[in-house]
Structure 1
Amino acid sequence: MDESGKRDVVFLVADGNMRTMIGTFLSRKDFPHKLGCAPFAFDARRDFVPAPHHDSEIPLRAGALLQPWRGEYRRAIVVMDHAYDNAPPVEEIRARIAKQLQDDWAQFAVIVIEPELENWFWSGHHEVIKKALVWRPRKGDDRTPRQVLEEAGLWLPGQDKPEHPKEAVEHLHRMKYIGDMSSGIFKRFAQHVPSVRRCTDASFQQLMATLAEWFPAEKNAYTTTEYAQ
């Protein structure tokens, strides 16, 4: 099949929050510099395919959902959470999706976030997290989001992140420490996070490594052979 004239990458995502976070970050002018890859064509308005029924649909229908776009794109990236009812093991999900895509896509990657997208959010960038959350502590309360969550038993001492990252955000909202539970949280985080290096989440690293491999600069910080197909 003639690949000339096709767009670089289409993203199949499970929900609007994924679209917002990934789209905002990849739309930043400094993105190639932050990652260490060559620039590539990306348009957050058109390079996403949403799964109508979210995460649980993707292992069953990823191939069908992406098939209409095979004539327009060279590569495909699938992004989904692992935290949904009756989810099979991550490796099984990857294998199911890969089987559906391997005949149609010469290059593709399957990103399964354990447990969910909010795990990308809880990085070491504390000031960026507060800005993204629209952090509003009570008068005289100078605790950080981490300290509030530790005292609630939702962030265990010694751990890099909360065990249940979405529940952590929901708790802060319920306690009125934050005023926003919309995709704006993810947009603000992606706009302001200064570095991709401090995110230790394996699925985020896989996504960054895949893009660096597909669009290599002379020198880049990420390489991958394990995940990208």
Structure 2
Amino acid sequence: MSRELVILCADGTMRAVLGAFFARQFHHALGCAPFDFDVARDIFNDPLEKDGGVHRRSHEILRQFLTTHRRALVVLDQQFGGERPAATVRADIERLLDANGWQDRRAVAVIDPELEVLLWQDNPHVEAALKYTGQPSLRQRLENEGKWPAGQPKPAAPKELIQALIKSQRAGPPVAVYSQIANRVAIHGCVDPAFLTIRDAIRTWFPAEVA
């Protein structure tokens, strides 16, 4: 096997966002050892499949990488089709991957409810990507409007809210805004379980050297 990790994403937007994150010096952000990872080669989505297809067929989609990549990571949204619980979707995929040769070298991250929840932080980089320059801060404005409850790490409707702000602020194509956030935002403030799954799997596979 010549490659360390392959990442299967549910769609092109998710691929762009994760690609932007892994294009930075991600080992510093994740607290892992550096490893060879090529965004152009090692992260992909199947244009014929979305979240539901990845749920049912990730083992088939990844079969071509069984002998070329040591490990596989699958990332998809929970909110699709019948909207099964994230834990159920994750267990389904893990079972199929294990039965098809990925035992002990796979991880599955199911974003609940969807990708946009990972992008939200009370952070100036989020404001910059959304071209928000007003007062009060974006976090305070959304709290005042009842869209981001006090004490909560994320807004109540992350996808609808970020897309509405992109439109009202004329911030640009959503995928470009998302990628800008992923490329710049700090991750220590991200408490989303799906992101922690990604972080912990990569730390386990590529442990940082202890001085």
Q: Same fold (TM over 0.5)?
A: yes
Contact 1:36 1:219 in 2 (8 A): no
Q: Which stretches in structure 1 are left out of the alignment for 5+ residues?
A: 221-229
Identical-pair percentage:
35
C-alpha distance in 1 between matches for 2:157 and 2:192? 13
2:179 equivalent to 1:207: no
Q: Alignment partner of 1:87: what SS?
A: coil
TM-score, scaled to structure 2: 0.90
Contact 2:7 2:44 in 1 (8 A): yes
Partner of 2:126: 129
**C-alpha displacement of 1:27:** 1.9
Aligned-pair Cα RMSD in Å: 1.9
Partner of 2:209: 218
Q: 2:29 aligns with which of 34, 57, 61?
A: 34
C-alpha distance in 1 between matches for 2:193 and 2:28? 21
Mapping of residues 50-199 of structure 1, within 5 Å: 50-51=45-46, 52-102=48-98, 103-106=100-103, 107-124=105-122, 126-135=123-132, 141-174=134-167, 176-193=168-185, 195-199=186-190
Q: Alignment partner of 2:189: what SS?
A: coil
Number of paired residues?
208
Q: Which structure has the highest helix share of the two?
A: 2
Please identify runs of 4+ aligned residues in structure 1 that moved more than 6 A.
none
Contact 1:131 1:188 in 2 (8 A): no
Map Cα deviations across residues 12-41 of structure 1 (whole Å, 9 max, x no partner). Answer: 101122212211222213x21222211111
C-alpha distance in 2 between matches for 1:213 and 1:132? 32
Map Cα deviations across residues 81-121 of structure 1 (whole Å, 9 max, x no partner). Answer: 11223121112111211111113113000000011111111
C-alpha distance in 2 between matches for 1:134 and 1:70? 43
Contact 2:19 2:39 in 1 (8 A): yes
Map Cα deviations across residues 178-225 of structure 1 (whole Å, 9 max, x no partner). Answer: 4224211122112222x32111111111111111110011249xxxxx
C-alpha distance in 2 between matches for 1:88 and 1:59? 11
